[in-house]
Amino acid sequence: MFAYFPHTDEDIRAMLDRIGAESEDELFSDVPSGFRLRNGYDLPSSMSEDEVRAFFNGLASRNTRLTVFAGAGAYDHYTPSVIPYITSRSEFLTAYTPYQAEISQGTLRYIFEWQTMICSLTGMDVANASMYDGPTAAAEAMRMCVACTRKRNTVIASSTLLPGVLEVLRTYARNCGVNLVETDAIGEAVAEGTLDLAGVIVPSINRYGIIESHLGLADAVHEAGALLVEYCDPSALAVVKTPAEWGADIAVGDAQTLGMPLCYGGPCAGFMACSSKWMRKLPGRLVGQTVDASGRRCFVLTLQAREQHIRREKASSNICSNESLMALWSTVYLSLMGPEGLRRVNALCYVGSHYLHDALLATGRFTDPFEGRAFLKEFVLQPLMDAGKLQQTLLDAGFFGALLTEEGYVSFCVTERRTRAEMDALVRVVKEAGL
Amino acid sequence: MRYYDRLIFELSRKGRIGFSLPACDADPVKAETAKGVTGIWRESPLDLPEVSEPDVVRHYTNLSQMNFGVDTGFYPLGSCTMKYNPKLNEEVLQSFLGLHPLQPESTAGGAEELLSFMKKALCEICGMKGFTLQPCAGAHGELTGLMLIREYHRSRGDEARCKVIIPDSAHGTNPASAAACGFEVVEVKSRPDGLVDIDALRPLLGPDIAGMMMTNPNTLGLFEKDILEIASLVHGCGGLMYYDGANLNPLLGIARPGDMGFDVMHVNLHKTFSTPHGGGGPGSGPVGVSEKLLPYLDKLKVSGFHGNFGVIARACAYILSLGREHLAEAGTFATLSANYIKESLKDCYRLPIDSVCKHEFVFDGLAGGGGDVTTLDVAKRLLDYGFHAPTIYFPLLFHQAIMIEPTETESKETLDAFIEVMRSIAHEASREPEVLRTAPHNTPVSRPDETAAARQPVLKYEFR
User: Could you say which of A308, A331, A354 is where a domain stops?
Assistant: A331
CATH of B109-320, one of 3.90.850.10, 3.40.640.10, 1.10.10.10, 3.40.50.300: 3.40.640.10
- Respond yes or no on whether ipTM tops 0.90: yes
Q: Does A293 touch chain B (CB under 8 A)?
A: yes
Pick A215's closest partner by Cβ from B39, B83, B254: B39
Range of the domain at A99: 82-331
Are the Cβ atoms of A267 and B309 closer than 8 angstroms?
Answer: yes
User: Could you say which of A314, A331, A348 is where a domain stops?
Assistant: A331
How far does the CA of residue A308 sit from the closest CA of chain B (Å)?
5
Which residues in chain A touch residue B51, judged by CB atoms under 8 angstroms apart? Answer: 335-336, 338
For residues B71 and A311, what is the distance between their CA atoms, to the nearest angstrom?
A: 32
Residues A398 and A325 in one domain: no
How far does the CA of residue B369 sit from the closest CA of chain A (Å)?
24
Residues A91 and A173 in one domain: yes
Q: Note whether residue A30 is domain-resident.
A: no
Are the Cβ atoms of B458 and A90 closer than 8 angstroms?
Answer: no
Nearest CA among A27, A349, A206, A109 for reference residue B460:
A109
For residues B381 and B427, what is the distance between their CA atoms, to the nearest angstrom?
A: 12
For residues A22 and A32, what is the distance between their CA atoms, to the nearest angstrom?
A: 19
User: Could you say which of A331, A348, A383 is where a domain stops?
Assistant: A331
Nearest CA among B428, B448, B417, B450 for reference residue B381:
B428
Domain with CATH 3.90.1150.10 in chain B: 330-450
Q: Does A225 touch chain B (CB under 8 A)?
A: no
Q: Does A142 touch chain B (CB under 8 A)?
A: no
Report which secondary-structure segment, H or E, holds A15.
helix A9-19
Question: How many other β-carbons are positioned within 10 Å of the β-carbon of residue A202?
Answer: 24
Which residues in chain B touch residue A215, judged by CB atoms under 8 angstroms apart? Answer: 39
Residues A192 and A316 in one domain: yes
How far does the CA of residue A191 sit from the closest CA of chain B (Å)?
22
To test the contact with chain B by mutation, choose from A78, A86, A92, A313 the residue with the greatest count of B C-beta atoms within 10 A, namely A313
To test the contact with chain A by mutation, choose from B13, B37, B61, B64 the residue with the greatest count of A C-beta atoms within 10 A, namely B64
Are the Cβ atoms of B412 and A14 closer than 8 angstroms?
Answer: yes
Are the Cβ atoms of B305 and A265 closer than 8 angstroms?
Answer: yes
For residues A66 and A388, what is the distance between their CA atoms, to the nearest angstrom?
A: 17
Which residues in chain A touch residue B103, judged by CB atoms under 8 angstroms apart? Answer: 64, 66, 400
The CATH number of the structural domain formed by B330-450 is 3.90.1150.10
Residues A211 and A101 in one domain: yes
Which residues in chain B touch residue A37, judged by CB atoms under 8 angstroms apart? Answer: 253-256, 328
* Confidence (pLDDT) at B290: 97
- Residue B107's alpha-carbon distances to A364, B111, B193, in angstroms, are 29, 9, 55
How far does the CA of residue A48 sit from the closest CA of chain B (Å)?
6
Are the Cβ atoms of A241 and B39 closer than 8 angstroms?
Answer: yes
Q: Note whether residue A319 is domain-resident.
A: yes
Residues A310 and A370 in one domain: no
- Weakly modelled stretches of chain B, pLDDT under 70: none
Which residues in chain A touch residue B49, judged by CB atoms under 8 angstroms apart? Answer: 334-335, 338
Q: Note whether residue A247 is domain-resident.
A: yes
The number of domains in chain A is 2
Interface of A with B in 75-94 (CB under 8 A): 76, 78, 80, 82, 85-86, 88-94
Are the beta carbons of B20 and B56 closer than 8 angstroms? Answer: no
Which residues in chain A touch residue B353, judged by CB atoms under 8 angstroms apart? Answer: none
With vertex at residue A346, the alpha carbon angle to CA A341 and CA A352, rounded to the nearest 5 degrees, is: 125
Q: Note whether residue A371 is domain-resident.
A: yes
Eight-class DSSP state of A177: T
Mapped to the 3 state alphabet, what secondary structure does A95-134 carry? CCCCCCHHHEHHHHHHHHHHHHHHHHHHCCCEECCCECCH
A-B contacts (CB, under 8 Å): 653
Are the Cβ atoms of A41 and B335 closer than 8 angstroms?
Answer: no
Alpha helices, DSSP H, located in B48-155? 53-64, 88-91, 109-126, 138-155
How far does the CA of residue A367 sit from the closest CA of chain B (Å)?
20
Report which secondary-structure segment, H or E, holds B233.
helix B227-236
Are the Cβ atoms of A19 and B103 closer than 8 angstroms?
Answer: no
For residues A1 and B411, what is the distance between their CA atoms, to the nearest angstrom?
A: 13
Residues A114 and A257 in one domain: yes
Domain with CATH 3.40.640.10 in chain B: 109-320
**DSSP for A20-46, written as a single string:** T-SSGGGGGTTS-GGGB--S--SSPPP
Residues A224 and A349 in one domain: no
Are the Cβ atoms of A325 and B19 closer than 8 angstroms?
Answer: no
Are the Cβ atoms of B254 and A308 closer than 8 angstroms?
Answer: no
Q: Note whether residue A21 is domain-resident.
A: no
* Confidence (pLDDT) at A315: 85
Q: Please give the average pLDDT of every successive group of 10 residues along chain A, which has 435 residues.
A: 97 98 96 95 98 97 97 98 98 97 98 98 98 98 96 95 98 95 94 89 98 97 97 98 98 98 97 97 96 97 86 86 96 98 98 98 97 97 95 97 96 98 98 84
CATH code at A246? 3.40.640.10
- Residue A77's alpha-carbon distances to A69, A327, A416, in angstroms, are 11, 16, 7
Q: What global pTM score does this model have?
A: 0.97
Residues A327 and A363 in one domain: no
Residue B62 exposed, middle or buried by CB count within 10 Å (0-12, 13-18, 19+): middle
Which residues in chain B touch residue A65, judged by CB atoms under 8 angstroms apart? Answer: 98
Pick A46's closest partner by Cβ from B182, B325, B412: B325
Are the beta carbons of A239 and A196 closer than 8 angstroms? Answer: no
Give the β-pairing of A378-383 and B391-392: unpaired
Pick B310's closest partner by Cβ from A78, A116, A267: A267
Are the Cβ atoms of A18 and B173 closer than 8 angstroms?
Answer: no
CATH code at A412? 3.90.1150.10
Are the Cβ atoms of A175 and B150 closer than 8 angstroms?
Answer: yes
Residues A413 and A344 in one domain: yes
Nearest CA among B333, B409, B307 for reference residue B86:
B409
Are the Cβ atoms of B223 and A296 closer than 8 angstroms?
Answer: no
Are the beta carbons of A130 and A327 closer than 8 angstroms? Answer: yes
Are the Cβ atoms of B282 and A326 closer than 8 angstroms?
Answer: yes
